Amino acid sequence: MKSEARGSSSSGRARSFWSQFRRNRLALGGAFLVALLFLVALLAPALSPYDPTEIDPEHILSPPHPNHWLGTDRLGRDVLSRMIWGSRISLLVGFVSVGISTAIGILLGALAGYYGRWVDALIMRFVDLMLCFPTFFLILAVIAFLEPSIWNIMVVIGATGWMGVARLVRAEFLSLKEREFVISARALGASDLRIIFRHLLPNALAPVLVSATLGVAGAILTESALSFLGIGIQPPTPSWGNILTGGKDNLEIAWWLSLFPGLAILLTVLGYNLLGEGIRDALDPRLRER
């Protein structure tokens, strides 16, 4: 009976969420852009007309035309193919780095919110210390001492972006740990780990989901900026950021190298931001009551 009640309650929350979410046309537009990016990344081998690393000396800095829809770069590589394969890099960096930051933030936030006292003070002072440093410059400083590879970039972005998640989880735990269901679980002899991961954490994940969705957009933007500066994804691996770097060097004669990857970054970040805002609004109980 309890499992059936829990299942019907979860189903009811899901229906309420979807009913609220689908009313938000901007959120649906963001979901469409995100789904389109997933589809392009998944079907990259089929959609790419050329090998993204193939050099064509006869078509160097060629403008868009029927053979190369988005033109070519300074080595004659097809820009469309490089952008399609670059979408995979963006998704990989976004999800892995956000996964790392979310895991760290949940762990530290849960410990701070549940145990309180000196544990809370110690963790939150560390959070305050991390927030004193501008995140992007902190990433630049760390990358300067490491080899600029995709894995190092994902780890560094994830390891420097967990503070917001930690504060969200801590706030949720502080409000939830005094509720009746937690007191009952403690009275029945449940261990701290069981209370944290079985009772508290599932009820604290709503703001974390929103933060993670918005964090993917931030991670993609950070990777593009690092690649643009030449310390991110290194050629010949295609990345929207290093395509933009080629556009910077040839801006007067090859406008397409700046326009198309810039639009791709803009639409991707916009899509994730709209999706995150829509999820936040759909999870807000005050809006569901209207």
pLDDT 10s digits, 40-80 = 999 999 999 999 988 888 888 899 988 889 999 988 899 99
What's the confidence (pLDDT) of residue 269?
A: 92
Q: Please, where are the H alpha helices in the chain? A: 2-21, 25-42, 44-47, 79-115, 117-131, 135-144, 150-159, 163-176, 180-187, 192-194, 205-228, 240-249, 256-283, 285-288
Which residue segment(s) compose the domain that 54 sits in? 2-288
pLDDT in tens, 145-166: 877 788 888 999 999 889 999 9
Q: What does pLDDT average to over the chain?
A: 86
Q: How many CA atoms lie within 13 A of 206 on its CB side?
A: 16
pLDDT of residue 127: 92
Q: Is the pLDDT of residue 4 over 60?
A: no
Q: Both tokens of residue 223?
A: 């990777």
Contact predicate 104/158, CB 8 Å: yes
Number of domains in the chain: 1
Q: pLDDT tens-digit profile of 257-276?
A: 889 999 999 999 999 999 99
Distance separating alpha carbons of residues 109 and 123, to the nearest angstrom: 8
214-241 pLDDT, tens digit each: 899 999 998 888 888 888 888 888 889 8
Each residue's pLDDT tens digit, 181-201 = 888 888 887 888 888 888 888
Judge whether residue 288 has pLDDT over 70: no
Burial of 134-170, coded b for 16+ CB within 10 Å and e otherwise, reads eeeebbeebbeeeebebeebbbbbbbbbbbbbbbbbb
Give pLDDT, residue 178. Answer: 80
Backbone φ and ψ of 65, nearest 5°: -155, 175
Q: Using an 8 Å Cβ cutoff, are 219 and 135 in contact? A: no
CATH number at residue 153: 1.10.3720.10
